[in-house]
Structure 1
């Protein structure tokens, strides 16, 4: 284990993030008075990490640890590519869990996603409707505008927290061609502005808004800027290329598929030690079938759970049922 590592790939949370040195001068930010994060229990962590009492499923290799820590030191986003089931999204949850950085802020990307959606949502129609029901006009200087404005996952991550928040931008390769370019300025400057609040900043400089994690934050004069640049994980299945300017602002990590030993630890964390021991044959079968086509790790977990819950008798019928779940992802037609 390298002494400079902040994130060590361990199962137990620790305060190692406090040892993180100051950022390089070109990545230093001072977005204003610190904001206290809203830290309820992360609902996504148990699904991604399994039973914390036994293990955290993500067990990074040494070169992966080096790149994760480099992203933490340099305050740069981490672009993670790999086949389905290699642990791309789990990486974000594992870092948040070990470094005690609170719930992961997740932004799932589709072809319709825009930078605006990631930053904030302004419910102008809801505001006008409620004003009409109350028999008044929703003026531009209405201080209640904050009730209709919710910061998105990216917008929340860029609040001036003392410690970095973890932001997962999931499947960035599904985005419209313009989104990676739209992210460039945000990644470089660590700030953004909300025009709806800037217009009333003379009369109402401080407006309380809702955050993506269910909390509340005060926005000063319509400006949001980070103090600790968030730890941003962008996942990609490698289905498209990104512009050089975007890649220049990221560190790139390609995850390999987990081997049989890692698969065993994943099964143990999610289904227990007994399931791991009883399912060794199916773990080996999964690893063997993966040599002839793509499989995702959750297919193995589903197969093990199903064959256990269905109490299938006999190795032959058990394997046949597992094979129905562990079908190659490239085609609906699979060998039997």
Structure 2
């Protein structure tokens, strides 16, 4: 038999159940609604890459995956012969060979990369094939080329007449003096958030102009040129890749966001790590980052670095803040 005190206690609890239940469902409903409002698909890229981010935005507006969006976006400069820092038309190494690097990373932590790849216009798509169709993360050189050809990619001459003319002119002196924000703005890194809040990223480049044959920069290195953690956010880098690799730059930015920094604060701190250890007067490194909330940030060592953001059917190119003014 239930005594009077226990009866009253149970009665009180029973009386609270309707209000508790309503509050719980109200809370869940509010959270779901708030989350859906927060998730606004976006694409962001290093430098002035309007056509690239707009191509990514088309995919996102159709409800497509962030992974598909970043691949579609960076394929635009890869195929543009007038963009001499990425893909077809890229400036060659000092021996006259156009060699390409690229990587891609999805919301599940999967990644694919190719380095020192020749004759293939879209290394980003080869990198995705490495991610999805092999047990590996990275393929390089002849092995990457053979894999690409086995997957149906077309072998092409990527050295345009314009790039060859510039290279032959360079050969007269063969002086290797990259210029900040020109020969060193050698990458497109892109991040995207899709309509369900998943994040992916891509990075692709023809590397430094007139580099030593075989040189590979940060762009295809997971954690250096690009890193994505779908629980936290993503980051990508541009500039002198050797410095980015030495600091695991993009991974550092994401880890700083994990510790509570905003994307802007994380980009700034990552750049300062480089500044503290290097003579930075003649070098450029820039970072772009987004977090799970859709907030973004960008920062560079030298002025002149810009980024492009496409969101809500609008595209804007913005000059990033920099350490040097």
What's the TM-score once normalised by structure 2's chain length? Answer: 0.23
More strand by share: 2
Higher RCO (CA 8 Å, separation ≥ 6 residues): 1
What's the TM-score once normalised by structure 1's chain length? Answer: 0.22
More helix by share: 1
